[in-house]
């Protein structure tokens, strides 16, 4: 999926930005009515290609290029406008030289010399004038704050520390006041917009409600105000270097790991973003990539929600054929094995060629291990699982079922079982004839598909009714989960 996502990003940028290498005379751009015409003088480069780049979330990408003449002059030009946001000038060797803002007018001039990059000028852009003024003032204050902060290391007494802390608080307030000055003085400027996107609300003190201290009030205050002044259909969000970090911070610290809580947030953001030409596909693929192989158990439900409510309703137009196929197949592979659902029917053969039915197996808990006798990880984890079973699970009357998913290795399978003394298991497999019969139906009904066995080993824990209560955990995590379930039931 990562490779597919990269292709998607690049193709979208090419379509949205109208990538073009300008070869037109400099003078033709000055009075041009094209979407963007940005003149540049970048000494000492001559007769070489330079670039402007921007952000696509955390990624940095090129947005346009031009060839400098023998006077170090060139022009970035296209019929289409670039999405406003934070951009940067890139050298012929792909080194980022300095940042600037892309405003809505997009007809201005950049003058710079690599021997004095801090002195670069932008002529004809009020947004960049404001931005440069802000950067200059905030860098000065930030340097002063760093000096005060370093003083903590040399404080000798508690009084010294207290005095430094007072200085720090005062200087920090100056910085906040300076930010507020720019957002209130230039409320419609790009600088103001960027500061609002960056802003995190400060947690208030614990509130007293009906005579009782509400310790959750600061948390929920920050959560409910985290996105103040941010509208999720604004394409400029993609063109900032900090929006994606803020998004990750929000989901990590202020959204429950429970799938339904995540789904509520994702649904809201994607619904609002849908009118944004760039922000919508950015968020759609970010959430898809995050939850198609989630970090925490059960969160693949989020991906399934995204597929059913967005991709399955027409948004596959954003995908190439390979990505569309991958996402669709993945969605169908996890539909039947979500946490809380009844485990798919499993009618196969035992190791001694007797018929086996999962739903005829009576046990308070059933643990299913899908494995391959040729798999190196399986050869390590299956004996570990057996040890855990004998030490902890056997006394809980857990039924341990091992499913060999490689019918071509029956001899290796039987030899491994004998070698490792896996005598407490119920060992089963699917015959080649039964597998071919399932495949011939043309439906996603094979064991691998129904149980999402795309890696080995794959583990599931079922309750007495054969509902899936845990999956995709380590053996130790399964043990912790099982022990907690047993305590709850007692």
Asked if 105 and 190 touch (Cβ cutoff 8 Å), the reply is no
Which DSSP symbol is given to 342?
A: B
Residues 66, 8 share a domain: yes
Instruction: Report d(CA 64, CA 74) in Å as an integer.
Output: 12
Domains in the chain, number: 4
Instruction: Report d(CA 223, CA 89) in Å as an integer.
Output: 36
Residues 329, 412 share a domain: no
Residues 103, 12 share a domain: yes
Residues 175, 297 share a domain: no
**What pLDDT does residue 489 have?**
81
Q: Which domain holds residue 37?
A: 2-124
Residues 324, 424 share a domain: no
Instruction: Report d(CA 213, CA 376) in Å as an integer.
Output: 55
Residues 141, 52 share a domain: no
> How is residue 103 written in tokens?
């405003």
Bridge-based pairing state of the strands 96-102 and 59-67: unpaired
CATH number of the structural domain spanning residue 357: 3.40.30.10
Bridge partner list, 214? 207
Instruction: Report d(CA 410, CA 406) in Å as an integer.
Output: 8
**What pLDDT does residue 3 have?**
34
| Cβ atoms within 10 Å of 465's Cβ, excluding its own | 9
Q: Of 156, 171, 198, at which residue does a domain stop? A: 198
3-state percent breakdown (helix, strand, coil) of the chain, nearest 5: 50, 20, 30
One DSSP character per residue, 293-339 reads: S-SSTTTHHHHHHHHHHTGGGTGGGGS-HHHHHHHHHHHHHHGGG-T
Residues 317, 287 share a domain: yes
Please list the ranges in the chain whose pLDDT falls under 50.
Answer: 1-30
Asked if 473 and 459 touch (Cβ cutoff 8 Å), the reply is yes
- pTM (2 decimals)? 0.83
Residues 215, 159 share a domain: no
Query: Distances in Å between the alpha carbon of 283 and those of 24, 245, 271, 279?
Result: 36, 13, 11, 6
**What pLDDT does residue 443 have?**
60
**What pLDDT does residue 27 have?**
46
Asked if 462 and 468 touch (Cβ cutoff 8 Å), the reply is yes
Query: What three-state secondary structure class fits 384?
Result: helix
Q: Which residues of 36-47 are buried (b: 16+ CB within 10 A; e: fewer)?
A: bbbbbbbeebee
Query: Distances in Å between the alpha carbon of 127 and those of 85, 186, 213, 460?
Result: 11, 9, 46, 57
Bridge-based pairing state of the strands 212-214 and 347-350: unpaired
Average pLDDT taken over every residue of the chain: 89
Residues 309, 217 share a domain: yes
**What pLDDT does residue 405 have?**
92
Residues 483, 351 share a domain: yes
**What pLDDT does residue 447 have?**
86
Residue tagged 């967005």 (tokens): 310
Q: Of 291, 307, 337, at which residue does a domain stop? A: 337
Which DSSP symbol is given to 176?
A: H
Which DSSP symbol is given to 456?
A: S
Residues 247, 324 share a domain: yes
Assigned domain for 342 exists: no
């Amino acid at each position: 999926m990562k490779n597919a996502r990269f292709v998607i990003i690049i193709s979208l940028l090419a379509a949205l930005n109208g990538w073009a290498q300008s070869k037109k005379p400099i003078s033709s751009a000055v009075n041009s009515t094209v979407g963007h015409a940005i003149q540049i003088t970048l000494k000492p480069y001559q007769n070489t290609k330079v670039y402007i780049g921007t952000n696509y979330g955390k990624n940095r990408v090129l947005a346009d290029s031009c060839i400098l003449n023998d006077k170090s002059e060139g022009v970035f030009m296209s019929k289409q406008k670039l999405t406003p946001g934070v951009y940067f000038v890139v050298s012929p060797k792909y080194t980022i030289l300095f940042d600037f803002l892309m405003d809505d007018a997009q007809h201005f001039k950049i003058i710079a010399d690599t021997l004095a990059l801090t002195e670069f000028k932008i002529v004809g852009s009020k947004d960049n004038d404001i931005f440069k003024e802000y950067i200059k003032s905030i860098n000065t204050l930030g340097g002063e704050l760093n000096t005060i902060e370093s003083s903590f290391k040399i404080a000798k007494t508690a009084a010294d520390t207290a005095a430094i802390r007072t200085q720090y608080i005062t200087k920090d307030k100056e910085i906040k006041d300076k930010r507020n000055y720019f957002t209130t003085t230039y409320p419609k400027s790009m600088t103001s917009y960027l500061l609002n996107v960056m802003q995190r609300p400060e947690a208030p003190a614990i509130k007293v409600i009906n005579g009782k201290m509400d310790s959750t009030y600061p948390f929920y205050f920050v959560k409910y105000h985290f996105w103040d002044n941010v509208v999720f259909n604004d394409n400029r969000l993609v063109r900032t270097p900090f929006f994606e970090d803020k998004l990750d911070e929000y989901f990590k610290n202020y959204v429950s790991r429970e799938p339904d809580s995540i789904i509520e947030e994702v649904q809201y953001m994607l619904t609002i973003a849908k009118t944004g030409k760039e922000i919508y596909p950015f968020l759609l693929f970010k959430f898809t990539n995050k939850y198609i192989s989630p970090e925490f158990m059960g969160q693949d439900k989020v991906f399934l929600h995204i597929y059913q409510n967005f991709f399955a309703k027409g948004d596959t137009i954003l995908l190439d054929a390979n990505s569309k196929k991958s996402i669709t197949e993945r969605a169908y592979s996890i539909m039947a094995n979500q946490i809380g659902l009844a485990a798919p029917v499993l009618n196969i053969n035992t190791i001694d060629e007797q018929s086996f039915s999962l739903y005829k197996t009576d046990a308070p808990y059933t643990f299913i291990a899908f494995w391959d006798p040729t798999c190196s990880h399986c050869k390590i984890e299956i004996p570990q699982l057996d040890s855990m079973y004998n030490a902890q699970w056997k006394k809980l009357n857990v039924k341990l079922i091992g499913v060999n998913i490689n019918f071509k290795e029956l001899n290796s399978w039987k030899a491994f079982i004998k070698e490792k003394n896996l005598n407490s298991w119920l060992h089963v497999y699917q015959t080649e004839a039964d597998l071919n019969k399932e495949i011939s139906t043309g439906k996603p009904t094979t064991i691998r598909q129904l149980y999402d066995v795309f890696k080995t080993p794959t583990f599931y824990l079922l309750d007495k009714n054969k509902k899936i209560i845990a999956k995709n955990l380590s053996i130790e995590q399964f043990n912790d989960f099982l022990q907690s379930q047993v305590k709850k039931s007692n």
